[in-house]
Amino acid sequence: MSGRGVTGVAHAEVYQWKDASGRTVYSDRPQPGTHAQRMNIRHTAPATAASAPAPGQTG
């Protein structure tokens, strides 16, 4: 069985807003009483070493 080409995709909801000092804040939960903007983050994980051919072998 070959594991080549196997990657993982993760989705995360991240919220962004400005705090009382004007600094940008990011969190997985919106702060109550703020105008938090929801951002959809998509991350593709690289293939693991287990899915790569062993040194000296061809796939």
Q: What is the pLDDT along the chain (59 residues), one digit of tens a residue?
A: 455 555 555 667 899 999 999 999 999 999 898 889 998 777 777 766 666 666 676 65
Pairing mode, strands 9-18 and 37-44: antiparallel
- How would you list the strands of the sheet with 24-27, edge to edge? 24-27, 9-18, 37-44
What's the pTM value of the predicted model, to 2 decimals? 0.50
